[in-house]
Structure 1
Amino acid sequence: MEDAENLAECGLDPELRDRLLNEQVECTFIWTNKAGQPFGVAMSFIWRKGSIWLTAAGTRARIPAIRRTGYAAAMISSVGTTIGPGKTVSVRGRCIVHDDRATRDWMLPELARAIRKDDEAGAQAFLALLDSPGRVVIELKPDYELNFDSKKMWARKPDAAPPGRFDH
């Protein structure tokens, strides 16, 4: 490889993809506003049942936008995980806003435990904060995915790699 033009062979191996989706708890969540412009924020999430699950107050601008378009996207980075930097999973797909109690009852505790995985009291406190009357759950069902493993790209030209890219 002389350059970084063709990265088709730099996707994540399936095991590493699954590990990233199950280990990471923060993503960039992206939707389209009323003007048709993309906008995104960092949000906590969990990967369950083949979907990305997030939560927000129903009054957040993203909620009517999702209801209006029915679509959203997310980018999950490996930064901050035991996997190390340079790996991503990006998805887009149908997005459903759940406002029923049954969905909140299973999803919010799982999210709280994922965020505060080593602290049950902390998870319970976080759950109490999350479980508010106007809270909704967002389900992003991916219909397109693009993932990337920079280690595969850097392996083609190791002298160009940033420090630490081969440590994980």
Structure 2
Amino acid sequence: MNRLFLLIFPIFTIFLDGCVTYSKNSSLPSIQDINLEEEFTIEGKFKINFNRNIETGYYRISTDNGLVSLTLGKNYLLPEENFQFNKGDKLKISDFLDINLTNENDLLDSDITVISFLDVILGYRKSYTGNFWSIEYPSKKSNINNSNIPLRTIISNKNLSLELLIQKIYSEK
């Protein structure tokens, strides 16, 4: 009986230890308000509709000394696309698409300045007058890291609709 206990107890203990989940305390700093001049990173998912084509994927936006880095991926098995911008540059929304476009005129009006794009994602801008963009915040503002940033943003015009979902946001202080 004693030998059986000494044999079964360690196996049972190892089995139970493997089934336990350990909670990791998030060490991301709390963000009350993001200043666009500071360094920060936003990670999330996107969905874009264009002429009945739907593309989904993930994105990561990070700022560093006035430069904005945008990383787009369709899934974690395919290679990512990396873009570098100055804050005054124009971002082509068509960069989110992974289809061959035969008629570029459909996307002629689908660019937005990077600074305006960041303003929209962070909830600072309620409308965008250039190129007839429509901006919608369908859900209440979230409390990601105690911030006041919208969880979902939909940017659309007559040709396409881009929905952005923020999963993480943190400051690089």
TM-score if structure 2 supplies the norm length? 0.28
More helix per residue: 1
TM-score if structure 1 supplies the norm length? 0.29
Structure with larger Rg: 2
